[in-house]
Each structure stands twice: as C-alpha cells, then as structure tokens.
Structure 1
Amino acid sequence: MENDDYYSRVFSQTTRMITNKGCLEVKGKNIDVIQIIQKG
C-alpha cells in the first residue's frame, strides 16, 4: 500500500501549493494525480 502514502504526500503538497500563487501551475501538473485518487 505504498501508493496510499505516496498519494497522501502528493495531495498534501498539492493542497499546500494551491494556497500559494502556484495554483494554476499545480492545477495543470497534478490534475492527473487528483483524477487517479478519485478513480481509486
């Protein structure tokens, strides 16, 4: 279950970066990761 920990870390970083000016950049790069999490 390493994927769960990996996605948790990525999601945490994504959330933190979204609060910064990097919202658009993160949205473009990590949208696929978010979709993967939703699909499970």
Structure 2
Amino acid sequence: MMTNNQYSFLSSSMVKEIAKYRANVSDLVPAVVEEALIKKYQQS
C-alpha cells in the first residue's frame, strides 16, 4: 500500500521517538495515529 505524499518523508521510528517524548506530532500524522501514539505513550 502506498503512503500519502503528505507523509512520505517520515520514518515511523522517527515519529514514534518524537511521540515518546510527548512532543506534538499532529502535523506529521493523521489524527487517528496521533491519538493512538498519545494513548500508547501515556501508559509508559
């Protein structure tokens, strides 16, 4: 499956690292992904 060109420059590991430190990723991923990352890293 091809990614949307809007997000093609991102590496998933980079986004996860940013989210891990509770930085804003709303400009990098769709809202549903942002919510999932927030939920995942709030538990950590």
Q: What TM-score, normalized to structure 1? A: 0.37
Structure (1/2) with the larger helix percentage: 1
